[in-house]
Structure 1
Amino acid sequence: MKKIELSTIVSCISFSGKRLDKVLAQLFKEYSRSYLKKLILINQVLVNKSIVNQPDKKISVGEIITIYPILKDLKFNFPENIPLNIIYEDNDILVINKPAGLVVHPGSGNNTGTILNALLYHYKNIKYLPRAGIVHRLDKDTTGLMVVAKTIYAYNYLLKILKKRKITREYQGIVKGNMISGGIINAPIMRHHMKRTSMMVHSLGKTSITHYKIINRFKYHTHISIRLETGRTHQIRVHMLYIKHPLVGDPCYKGIERGINYKKNEDINKIYTFPRQALHASHISFVHPVTQNLMSWTVSLPEDMKKLLVYLQNT
């Protein structure tokens, strides 16, 4: 067990005159209000560098609040010297271009070698943030852009705008079948009732909305752009399977092949040796947590998807 220090400035006018415990619950949303109240009572909260142990103390704009939460040492959360492809960085955020094969967060079967472990190595103070500042994830074999917070204020801000669907995330994918047009998929998603590592469309699931447009058509495949309105686990992969256009190379959401004798088609067999789901997070944009400027980043397709598109074009 260890203590850490988290500080922030009260900048929101609506917080003026409110109780300290209520303000803390808004500023440090990763902790419960009851836990924050406990910190106040045991002298682990400072206002303008002075200990305050009264939860009902009224707070003013411009005051500096510091808390000292006690953290449990989390298993597997230790630094590892793993290189990161950083597209953008300032004092508050960084944007990473994730390669295929790199897991974002430790979990079952992936205890080390993750982006989280890399962040802990390259950024000393990021260990004080929940999930080392990771706001959203990409699947292991999905490439592309993801944003990471470097301060507790930026972390809470990004979580808030993500929940309000104010972070624009666009992808490119290569799917099976020749699509006629773009569209919107509005189909709720929940965890699969038998395959617990997979997801499925189900009426009892959470609202899930995916927009897609056609970039290029090939003989048996389509190159599409995708925009997420919600961000459910495996959402694009599940939705593409749902409309019977699963992603090329997807090992989990393959679907049933239709209309082609794949066993006798050498070209198609070559395509389906693609080693991962053909999905790339190509664009992300949002209003910066501190400057309030609209910022956006776009990265080109990785080499394996570029080569696949060239192959499809020439097949």
Structure 2
Amino acid sequence: MTKQIKLSQIVPDNFYGMRLDQALAEMFPDYSRSRIKEWILADAVQLDKSVQNLPKFKVVGGEQVDIVADIAEDQRFSAEPIALDILHEDEHILVINKPAGLVVHPGAGNADGTLLNALLHHCPSIAEVPRAGIIHRLDKDTTGLMVVAKTIPAQTHLVEAMQAREITREYEAICYGKMTGGGFVNQPIGRHQTRRTQMAVIDGGKPAVTHYRVMEKYRGHTRLRLRLETGRTHQIRVHMAFINHSLVGDPVYGGRPRPPRKAAESLLVMIRNFKRQALHAAMLRLAHPITSEILEWHAPLPEDLVELNAALRADTLLHGMDEA
């Protein structure tokens, strides 16, 4: 479904010589420049009652601007009373700690039971915001922090901050192999050429940078802290597999379980039965989209990762680091 909006304003005189798309973005800051450009190209913008569909058109000041445009609503999805672990909420944004197993957005095979359905129930007015305010995603079985916009102005500013890499996201993970120190992976990511549901490091892919540092070393595994510069689909999982340190439990990029030699049966069972990627969005820091206040949240490790770390730590204390 769509919602029609109508906007009217006079171009300020000091905008003389400015591009139309730039001028409208300044005049209507609740909407992104890319969205305004789409409206211009779709003949939804009039200057002095005449359609103007050239984004590069130079304004002179004093023109009457009228915009009649459609914005997609998410009312085609149903609201569902799904519990949310809310860490912060105000009139503009919502920060949640997503559990494993919760799909973020409805799609093929997941028409309901998603975070979007939960958001529509928790905050019905969010249906007026595209994608119900979801500006970034976590994979179904990745846990941790997400920020959601409750209004269009908040969404516009958060999307722009995300694109400008002004939102900091840090993750914890457990990977296979012994890593000696931190570093980063700077490899482009795109759709896998033959397995279309998967991503891969490929020539011509989108730039992707993942920083990592070692938090704890185990016999045959490493506990990591990771920070994203970019936000490509499956980025951490793909990058860690690319450097031969895939995440424990990753059903797509992890390969077969690789427990350390002579591990106790309990640890063997735990690793074999860890059916999700051992990945958790642990920290989120951003400037509030309306007040500009710098805010930061931390989400504790979920119980399954706490137990896996404890088991690997006990195994290392029992056998020592040298016998993997």
TM-score, normalization by structure 1: 0.83
Report the CA distance between 1:194 and its aligned residue.
Answer: 1.0
Counterpart amino acid of 1:267?
Answer: L
Aligned to 1:172: 172
Extract unaligned runs of 5+ from structure 1. 44-51
Count matched residues: 300
Whole-angstrom distance in 2 between the partners of 1:145 and 1:15: 42
Distance 1:83 1:8 in 2: 41
CA distance in 1, matches of 2:9, 2:217: 52
Which aligned pairs between 1:36-185 and structure 2 lie closer than 5 A?
36=40, 38-41=43-46, 53=49, 58=61, 69-71=69-71, 77-185=77-185
Give the partner amino acid of 1:89. E
User: SS at the partner of 2:312?
Assistant: helix
> 1:101-143: per-residue Cα shift (whole Å, max 9, x none)?
0000111111111111111111121111111110100000000
Number of the residue aligned with 2:321 = none
What is the alpha-carbon root mean square deviation over aligned residues? 3.3
- What's the counterpart of residue 33 of structure 1? 37
Question: Does the 8 Å CA contact 1:76/1:106 hold for their aligned counterparts?
Answer: no
Alignment deviations for residues 13-35 of structure 1 (CA, whole Å, 9 cap, x no partner): 99956687654456423635353
Q: Greater shift after overlay, 267-276 or 132-141?
A: 267-276
The match for 2:240 is 240
**Amino acid in the other structure paired with 2:207:** T
Return 200-209 or 130-139, whichever deviates more.
Answer: 200-209
Percent sequence identity is 44
Amino acid in the other structure paired with 1:128? E
Contact 2:100 2:142 in 1 (8 A): yes
TM-score (norm 2): 0.81
Shift of 1:76: 5.2
Written as runs of structure 1 = structure 2, the 5 A alignment for 1:275-314 is: 275-314=275-314
- Answer yes or no: is the 8 Å Cα contact 2:142–2:277 preserved in 1: yes
Where does residue 200 of structure 2 map in the other structure? 200
Give the secondary-structure state (helix, strand or coil) at the position aligned to 2:35. Answer: coil
Q: Work out the CA distance in 1 between the residues paired with 2:107 and 2:295.
A: 31
Counterpart secondary structure, 2:144: strand
Q: Structure 2 unaligned runs (5+)? A: 53-58, 316-324
SS in 2 for 1:117: helix
